[in-house]
């Protein structure tokens, strides 16, 4: 079972202290999967016409010990052409079954794994096909996630030529002691160099991920990481709190305390806000005009739809939540034979759809009432009055002219807030992968 059922106590972890589980997907799977073909047999009216395409590349050259994602190790880029052929075949299945004329393509996002292991030419083939199919795409944001050690100037220039306008880098830290302790292969020098190169190549947006609360990390070291990105002119900065995997048991005792972690979170938030960044989601800060459409589509209420292609990719489309087969060999075989390869799929009930609006909406802080009323025929205050009053009394949210908003204090407790809106059917179900990767995925 992907979304394991646990007790209330386990589910809340340290609740009402900050919840340790990152709520990134909703609703959660329960019971048997439906047949994959159900997805293609009807088309629901969506909550929003905004559409995002996510392309998953679950391959890496080595496994970082902290990694809790499903990934497969490859030696080089030789998988790229055949894997891209499968991605294209999978997209053609959508093209054959759905009418995209009313959709607005907001984002095409290549993520991983290591998305930058796809040949630039293959990225180009996919982008062209998607843009030719979904023609309402004037403002589309096209992102490729890059690994600092793998991207080169030539690769970045090639991406730019084929229309990629946003690149992101898993920087994690500029401190070599942090990088060594986490057994990551990049060093400060490579991190700085690749960001400078990307800025020179001239993408609309250069984004970087940092991890805070790394074992032994001090507040000063973390803040100097943030300062470095600000001074370089990196326009989107995502801050992730360290989650150790079971391969890192030796580091558990070296984790900064909860108080230090909270201080890192609030001081870096302050620093970024003072420097003109807007927090568009927990964990993303952007300079104005660099708002990340992929995040908005996935989380911001009213959420858009997301079709995700590739092995192990997660989609929410046509009011179905589903994930593709994780094993890339089986994924490709299925796609070449049947046009798609869905491992688990579940139709969202009306209850799921309503609570999804709130659970994921909380990650982007402002939850408007009007689109909810228009789609579901009732106000968020009628359906979630009790939950809203509870969170208001805890100082985690407040009412606004348009709906509700997470308070500055509440931004640290976003996962607690999200969980308050879980429907009874989803309560006590864990998010996928929060304890690492189970054997069933191998
Ligand atoms: C979805 S991952 C992108 C995948 C990419 N292959 C990577 O890990 O670099 C986005 C970010 O999550 C963060 N991340 C990955 N593993 C983490 C962990 N164990 N604890 C905290 N943050 C983590 C890193 O900052 C990473 O860049
Ligand atoms: S953390 Fe990212 S780069 Fe490292 S192994 Fe996992 S998916 Fe690959």
Secondary structure, 3-state, 63-115: CCCCCCCCCEECCCCCCHHHHHHHHHHHHHHHHHHCCCCCCEEEEEEEEECCH
Which ligand 1 atom sits nearest the alpha carbon of residue 114? 6
Spatial separation of the C-alpha atoms in residues 320 and 318, rounded to whole Å: 5
Query: What's the Rg (C-alpha) of the chain?
Result: 21
What pLDDT sits at residue 401? 97
Give this prediction's pTM: 0.94
At 332, list the tokens: 């490709």
What pLDDT sits at residue 420? 94
Which among 114, 148, 183 is the best mutation to test ligand 2's pocket, defined by most ligand atoms within 8 Å of the CB? 114
pLDDT at 3 over 80: no
Structural domains of the chain in order of their starting residue, each with its CATH number: 1-27+350-436 (1.10.10.920), 36-298 (3.20.20.70)
Instruction: State whether the beta carbon of 112 lies less than 6 angstroms from ligand 2.
Output: yes
Which ligand 2 atom sits nearest the alpha carbon of residue 60? 8
What pLDDT sits at residue 400? 98
How does residue 411 score in pLDDT terms, banded at 50, 70 and 90?
very high
Which ligand 2 atom sits nearest the alpha carbon of residue 68? 6
What pLDDT sits at residue 438? 38
For 325-370, write each residue's pLDDT tens digit. Answer: 999 999 999 999 999 999 999 999 999 999 999 999 999 999 999 9
Work out the average pLDDT over 228-248: 95
Which among 22, 209, 292, 431 is the best mutation to test ligand 1's pocket, defined by most ligand atoms within 8 Å of the CB? 209
How does residue 69 score in pLDDT terms, banded at 50, 70 and 90?
confident
Average pLDDT of every residue of the chain? 93
Which ligand 2 atom sits nearest the alpha carbon of residue 112? 7
Instruction: State whether the beta carbon of 69 lies less than 6 angstroms from ligand 2.
Output: yes
Work out the average pLDDT over 176-181: 98
Closest CA to 307 of 299, 291, 318: 318
Sheet strand arrangement including 314-317: 278-281, 284-286, 236-241, 205-212, 166-172, 141-146, 104-112, 50-57, 305-309, 314-317, 320-324, 342-347
CA 149 → CA 184, 202, 361, 408, distances in Å?
A: 10, 19, 34, 36
Measured in angstroms, how far is the CA atom of residue 343 from the centroid of ligand 1? 24
What pLDDT sits at residue 58? 96
Instruction: State whether the beta carbon of 371 lies less than 6 angstroms from ligand 1.
Output: no
At 420, list the tokens: 């308050």
Q: Which ligand is nearest to the CA of 255?
A: 1
Spatial separation of the C-alpha atoms in residues 281 and 412, rounded to whole Å: 11
At 136, list the tokens: 């309402």
End-to-end CA distance of the chain: 14
């Amino acid at each position: 079972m992907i979304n394991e059922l646990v007790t209330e106590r386990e589910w809340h972890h340290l609740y009402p202290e900050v919840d340790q589980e990152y709520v990134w997907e909703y609703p959660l799977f329960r019971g048997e999967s439906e047949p994959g073909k159900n997805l293609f047999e009807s088309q629901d009216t969506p909550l929003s016409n905004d559409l995002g395409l996510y392309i998953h590349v679950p391959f890496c050259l080595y496994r970082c010990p902290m990694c809790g994602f499903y990934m497969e190790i490859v030696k080089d880029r030789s998988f790229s052409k055949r894997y891209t052929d499968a991605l294209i075949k999978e997209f053609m299945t959508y093209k054959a079954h759905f009418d995209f004329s009313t959709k607005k393509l907001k984002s095409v996002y290549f993520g991983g794994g290591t998305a930058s292991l796809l040949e630039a030419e293959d990225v180009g083939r996919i982008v062209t096909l998607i843009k030719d199919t979904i023609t309402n795409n004037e403002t589309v944001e096209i992102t490729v996630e890059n690994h600092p050690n793998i991207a080169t100037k030539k690769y970045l220039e090639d991406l730019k030529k084929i229309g990629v306008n946003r690149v992101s880098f898993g920087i994690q830290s500029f401190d070599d002691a942090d990088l060594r302790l986490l057994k990551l292969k990049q060093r400060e020098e490579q991190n700085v160099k690749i960001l400078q190169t990307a800025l020179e190549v001239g993408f609309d947006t250069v984004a970087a991920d940092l991890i805070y609360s790394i074992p032994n990390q001090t507040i000063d070291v973390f803040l100097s990481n943030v300062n470095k990105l600000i001074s370089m002119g990196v326009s989107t900065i995502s801050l992730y709190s360290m989650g150790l995997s079971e391969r890192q048991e030796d580091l558990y005792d070296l984790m900064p305390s909860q108080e230090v972690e909270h201080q890192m979170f609030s001081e870096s938030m302050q620093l970024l806000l003072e420097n003109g960044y807007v927090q568009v989601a927990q964990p993303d800060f952007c300079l104005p005009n660099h708002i990340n459409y992929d995040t908005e589509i996935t989380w911001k209420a009213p959420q858009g739809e997301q079709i995700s292609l590739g092995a192990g990719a997660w989609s929410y489309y046509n009011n179905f939540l589903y994930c593709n087969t994780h094993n890339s060999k089986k994924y490709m075989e299925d796609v070449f034979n049947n046009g798609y390869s869905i491992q688990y799929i579940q139709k969202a009930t009306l209850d799921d759809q309503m609570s999804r609006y709130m659970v994921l909406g909380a990650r982007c802080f402002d939850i408007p009432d009007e689109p909810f009323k228009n789609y579901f025929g009732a106000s968020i205050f009628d359906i979630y009055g009790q939950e809203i009053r509870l969170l208001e009394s805890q100082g985690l949210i407040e009412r606004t002219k348009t709906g509700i908003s997470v308070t500055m204090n509440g931004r640290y407790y976003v996962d607690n807030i999200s969980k308050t809106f879980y429907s009874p059917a989803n309560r006590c179900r864990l998010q996928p992968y929060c304890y690492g990767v189970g054997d069933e995925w191998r």
